[in-house]
Amino acid sequence: MKALVFVTGRGLGGDAVIGLNIIKALESKGCDCELVLDSNAPGILFEKNGYSWHKISIPQAGGHAANKLTTLKAGFKTVKAVFQSRNLIKKTKADVVVGIIGGGAVVGCLGAKITHTPAVGILSTPLDTKVCTKLNTCIVFPEAHMFRQSQIPENVYRSYFPVAPTIQKGDKNQAILKIKGHCKDVKSKNPNAVEFDENKKTILFSSGSTIFEKMARGVSDYSKLTDKYNIVLVGLPLEDEYYDWFDEEHMIYLGYINWINDLYELIDLAVLTDDGMMLSEAMTCHLPTIALLRVKYGRYHNMAQVFRGAVFEADNDNLASAIEDVMDNLEDVKSKTYEYGSKIAGSRDRISDIIIKEARK
């Protein structure tokens, strides 16, 4: 059995992690997988994991931030992309097509429909949900409005994000060694740089592989308000100017790391975005979380409603008080994460089972 997996984005984080986790789950069940990325995607995450990929056009309308203009532009590009998708599906003789979110879902599902190939769309945006649920079997994530509807179409399944089982196998001691080593290097250049203190609680700030402006400002402002906690930031800034905001005398900026599972074992609280894989990983690792709102292009997903009692909302102007509220009730909040963590942990296998079932129809 062969699955052709279309993944939107740059192949770095977010959608790429979702795609990688689904591919690994399918491979563990004997399914061969071939990957498709946009022609301009660097695909660093997949390259590091030993995967090559086919290159076609996979347009993006902007996800949850899409407007009429960006949707129209993506629509014109999609016509060409669908023909490329059709040709690739025929060439690879795929038994099933998997379209991962946004453009990847739309291009994959449309190409599959034209070639009469079984397909599963993995959905989270308004546009991919509108298009793909009319074409194939689909799986909607919590960010999609349909996830919370009392009734959904028969061809649609609800699912949490497919978190990798290795995410719960981190090593706290390794995280401490790596952070201390990083701090030592920074301190050799700046004697006033902050050091990691094992006696303090640790707060992680991250908006995924990319640090968006609001997250950059949030961690910069908060790190100057208190020295009660170790403040750790991960990711690469969307704009180079953000580097100037990361004051190494107040925070520990680690950049892009490949040992997030170790870090999860160390931190006490996560400040993340109101969406995505990292929030699900935090729940799986039983981490109380604050969702900093509208970080990515003004998007709002209301994840505090999905993960009641475990995720709390904040804006930059009330972030400090939100952190203190959670820290004052840390163990109670942590206990709430266990319910969601157990549900999320089984999502990866459930998604792969749905895909294999579709391929066998």
- Tell me, what's the pLDDT at 75? 56
Close Cβ partners of 242 (under 8 Å, ≥ 6 residues apart): 211, 213, 216
- Tell me, what's the pLDDT at 19? 96
| Residue 2: band (very low, low, confident or very high) from pLDDT cuts 50, 70, 90 | very high
Residues 112, 26: Cα–Cα separation, whole Å: 19
Q: How far is CA 172 from CA 112, 297, 359, in A?
A: 44, 34, 41
pLDDT of residue 248 exceeding 50: yes
Asked if 14 and 132 sit in the same domain, the reply is yes
pLDDT of residue 159 exceeding 50: yes
pLDDT of residue 65 exceeding 50: no
Close Cβ partners of 79 (under 8 Å, ≥ 6 residues apart): none
Answer with the one of 129, 159, 189 that is the final residue of a domain.
159
Q: Which two tokens stand for residue 291?
A: 């969702």
Asked if 55 and 177 sit in the same domain, the reply is no
The percent of residues in the chain predicted with pLDDT above 90, rounded, is 78
> What length is written for the chain?
361
pLDDT of residue 241 exceeding 60: yes
Residues 22, 15: Cα–Cα separation, whole Å: 11
Q: How far is CA 154 from CA 123, 129, 297, in A?
A: 15, 14, 32
Question: Which residue did the predictor score with more confidence, 74 or 230?
Answer: 230
* Domain encompassing residue 7: 2-159
Asked if 175 and 29 sit in the same domain, the reply is no
| Residue 349 placed within a domain | no
Asked if 334 and 289 sit in the same domain, the reply is yes
Answer with the one of 159, 182, 212 that is the final residue of a domain.
159
Mean pLDDT confidence for 13-41? 94
| Residue 357 placed within a domain | no
Mean pLDDT confidence for 76-104? 91
| Residue 70 placed within a domain | yes
Residues 53, 50: Cα–Cα separation, whole Å: 10
The two beta strands, 54-56 and 32-38, are parallel
DSSP 125-190: SHHHHHHHTTTSEEEE-TTSGGGG-SS--TTEEE------GGGG---HHHHHHHHHHHHHHHHHH-
- How many domains does one find in the chain? 2
| Residue 93 placed within a domain | yes
Asked if 77 and 147 sit in the same domain, the reply is yes
| Residue 300: band (very low, low, confident or very high) from pLDDT cuts 50, 70, 90 | confident
Asked if 154 and 210 sit in the same domain, the reply is no
Asked if 172 and 296 sit in the same domain, the reply is yes
- Tell me, what's the pLDDT at 63? 45
| Residue 344: band (very low, low, confident or very high) from pLDDT cuts 50, 70, 90 | very high
Residue reference for tokens 């290795």 = 166
pLDDT of residue 310 exceeding 90: yes
12, HSE (Cβ side, Cα atoms, 13 Å):
15
Mean pLDDT confidence for 333-350? 92
pLDDT of residue 71 exceeding 60: no
Asked if 174 and 118 sit in the same domain, the reply is no
The pLDDT mean for the chain works out to 91
- Tell me, what's the pLDDT at 118? 97
**What amino acid is encoded at 106 in this protein?**
V
Residue reference for tokens 């163990």 = 331
| Residue 69 placed within a domain | yes
Q: What is the pLDDT of residues 106-158, one digit of tens each?
A: 999 999 999 999 999 999 988 889 999 999 999 999 988 899 888 999 999 99
- Tell me, what's the pLDDT at 76? 53
pLDDT of residue 89 exceeding 70: yes
**Per mean pLDDT, which of 13-27, 48-62, 72-86 is the most reliable?**
13-27
Spatial contact of 231 and 251, defined as CB atoms under 8 Å apart: yes
Mean pLDDT confidence for 233-262? 94
| Residue 335 placed within a domain | yes
Residues 89, 76: Cα–Cα separation, whole Å: 21
Asked if 337 and 230 sit in the same domain, the reply is yes
| Residue 82 placed within a domain | yes
Least confident of 157-171, 294-308, 318-332: 294-308
Asked if 137 and 266 sit in the same domain, the reply is no
The CATH code of the domain that includes 147 is 3.40.50.2000
Answer with the one of 159, 177, 206 that is the final residue of a domain.
159
Asked if 172 and 282 sit in the same domain, the reply is yes
| Residue 99 placed within a domain | yes
Mean pLDDT confidence for 55-70? 60
Residues 20, 7: Cα–Cα separation, whole Å: 9
Asked if 205 and 330 sit in the same domain, the reply is yes
| Residue 277: band (very low, low, confident or very high) from pLDDT cuts 50, 70, 90 | confident
pLDDT of residue 64 exceeding 70: no
User: What global pTM score does this model have?
Assistant: 0.86
